[in-house]
Structure 1
Amino acid sequence: MAAPAKPLALTLGEPAGIGPDITIAAWLRRRELGLPAFYLLGDEALIAQRAKALGAEIRIAAVSPGEAESAFADALPVVATGGRATAAPGKPDASSAPAALASIRQAVSDVRAGRASAVVTNPIAKSVLYRAGFRHPGHTEFLAELAATDASVPQPVMMLWSPRLAVVPVTIHVSLREALTQLTSELIVSTVRIVATELTSRFGIARPRIAISGLNPHAGEDGSLGHEEQTVIAPALKALRHDGIDARGPLPADTMFHEAARNTYDCAVCMYHDQALIPIKTVAFDDAVNVTLGLPFIRTSPDHGTAFDIAGTGKANPASLIAALKLASRMAAANS
């Protein structure tokens, strides 16, 4: 598959977290792993300080997005976002939230303007952002706002992808009680339509097989353990099949994630956050990738947090970021 025409825009994430660490580690392995060209949106001085703390021999180049690809072979390209990030490893400060948010905004602007082929986001610390007035549940919802136009507001769909399993929760960053309130046939249908469309257009799967979980134990046991399978999920499945989508279910969630079951579908769509994320974090904790579907651009991210306790120590594993970079490049090439 051809490489995308433009480099990837990588956000800084929380400056005090492991985002700088894994960025440096990934760039150092660029040749060994054949990584696609990317540039980091952030503070050059912060990255230089973190590299020194890690004992990493690295050259950093302050560039524009258009210069990033040619610089990538010999230096980590850093594109300034206009603000300083002064947080020490593991110690967020007043610069953390503005730096993280500016990086995300600029990455989206770059990809929408054609300066980058996709957005890859390093982990953010929601608690730090909330203290600074951030009002979104997470990255996914913020990206949807940035992608909105006067004509439409996209429905963001969170997929966790790995070579062994891909999952999508219909309801995302809400309490279980709120998830039950939000869950409707219409939401299931719109979510699965986006999943089916993007599995074809961005993952190259001609006819995706999508497994739909039940909500209740044993998928409701014919109504004896709950009625949502009959009143909410079954009508959604009927509508999806009418659309020609290969949607199967509702399936008992406790039996749909063993190896033989996983081989029968391309993506599992589950009713709430933990129902989807516990299985993939069990089978692919180190290399799962967070992918946001339903946006007018490609976005991937490592599937882990900021890990303040190991920031700056050299212990952070870059595997998920490396997987996110590779998947973003693959998706961008398929979409070009």
Structure 2
Amino acid sequence: MPARKPRLALLLGDPAGVGPEMGVRLLANAANLEACELLLVAPPSLLAAGERIVGTKIPVLAAATREAVRFEPGRVALLAQREAEGGLPALGQCSEAAGAIALEALATATALARSGFVDGIVFAPLNKHSLRLAGMREEDELRFMQGLFGVQGFTCEFNITDGLWTSRVTSHVPVREVADLITPQAVADAVHILHDALRRAGIVRPRIAVSGLNPHAGDGGSIGREEIEVIAPTVERLKRDGLEASGPWSPDTVFIAARRGDFDAVVSMYHDQGQIAMKLMGFERGVTLHGGLPVPVATSASGSAFDIAGRGLARVDGLQAAFDLCLRMARQQLR
């Protein structure tokens, strides 16, 4: 008997940004509705706002509670969030109200995943400042969801563009704190979590390049010793454990080799070291996957784009790629 279709939750992201219109474009693709059971978690007014911007109507089957949710071919199940007092927040502005809507959707979707009701979560771009205005105390939405899932181990954002994956040892922390956070355990965790995710995505033996921290990977110790004292010994230990890891590679050339096809993935030491390279390679196609959570959770690598919100200009490519990856990983888990 074939495995059942995966069931994915879709969130519309920050209501003041481009998320609602991106979500509607995703839902307007009939192939997406055929590929899985889609559960939209959103206030009905936010869906309506996205529909007005895009100029299309999404066929939905609305429910007020999880128990009332039903799935029908060609229709989107809508688990209706409560409407915000005073209506939707203004477009193009950070606000507590916008963050509260997004946080509630994240919390609801996480609860659905914890209970096994959905197999994965796809969300449109969020705005971290709005989330913090609404009370999020964690570093980012990944750590917020990590707490709700009760995950104690290492978690990490993966960025994926055109089949190339990255993880990072540190993420949303000030640059002045990065060097102190580059430890053998942190480097090993970033490699292991990436290796495991790639295998879950169908790559049997991932080839992983580990970047250095300093210019020219320290240049033999003349521009820093993190490569000699931390990164290289950790890579050697990982290789002895059977992983196909290599490095430390010079940060300014490792992505050239990776784009050429020498590696399946790169571990960077901090946020911008990997993000700048990946976004130059394909900003509008990029995907962010939250690694270390019990179900696949993915979004587009692009942000909430307040400058174009409501104008119908936002492309859906990145969110579609996130949907495709989440769907593929959910299918793998159901086998």
TM-score (norm 2): 0.91
Structure 2 match to 1:103: 105
One-letter identity of the residue aligned with 2:133: R
Deviates more, 1:127-136 or 1:229-238: 127-136
One-letter identity of the residue aligned with 2:20: P
Structure 2 match to 1:231: 229
Matched residues in 2 for 1:260 and 1:134: separation?
35
- 1:71 equivalent in alignment to 2:77: no
Structure 2 match to 1:119: 121
Structure 1 match to 2:184: 185
State which of 245, 255, 273 in structure 2 corresponds to 1:275: 273
Structure 2 match to 1:142: 144
Could you tell me whether the CA contact under 8 Å between 1:4 and 1:117 is conserved in 2? no
One-letter identity of the residue aligned with 1:216: N
- 1:62 equivalent in alignment to 2:51: no
Matched residues in 1 for 2:283 and 2:276: separation?
10
Could you tell me whether the CA contact under 8 Å between 1:36 and 1:326 is conserved in 2? no
One-letter identity of the residue aligned with 1:12: L
Structure 2 gaps of 5+ residues are: none
TM-score (norm 1): 0.91
Decide whether aligned partners of structure 1 residues 18 and 31 sit closer, same or farther in structure 2, where only a CA change above 3 A counts. Answer: same
One-letter identity of the residue aligned with 2:135: G
Structure 1 gaps of 5+ residues are: none
Matched residues in 2 for 1:34 and 1:287: separation?
22
Per-residue deviation, residues 132-180 of structure 1 (Å, max 9, x unmatched): 33212211211211121xxx51311111012242111111001111111
- Identity among equivalent pairs (%): 34
Matched residues in 2 for 1:301 and 1:3: separation?
25
Decide whether aligned partners of structure 1 residues 282 and 94 sit closer, same or farther in structure 2, where only a CA change above 3 A counts. Answer: closer
One-letter identity of the residue aligned with 1:239: R
Structure 1 match to 2:7: 7
Q: CA deviation at 1:261?
A: 5.7
Number of residue pairs matched? 330
Q: CA deviation at 1:68?
A: 6.4
Q: Which has the higher contact order (CA 8 A, sep 6+)?
A: 1
Deviates more, 1:279-288 or 1:76-85: 76-85
Could you tell me whether the CA contact under 8 Å between 2:166 and 2:267 is conserved in 1? yes
Decide whether aligned partners of structure 1 residues 303 and 314 sit closer, same or farther in structure 2, where only a CA change above 3 A counts. Answer: same
Could you tell me whether the CA contact under 8 Å between 2:89 and 2:98 is conserved in 1? yes
One-letter identity of the residue aligned with 1:171: T
Matched residues in 2 for 1:178 and 1:113: separation?
37
CA RMSD of aligned residues (A): 2.2
Structure 2 match to 1:86: 88
Matched residues in 2 for 1:238 and 1:132: separation?
44
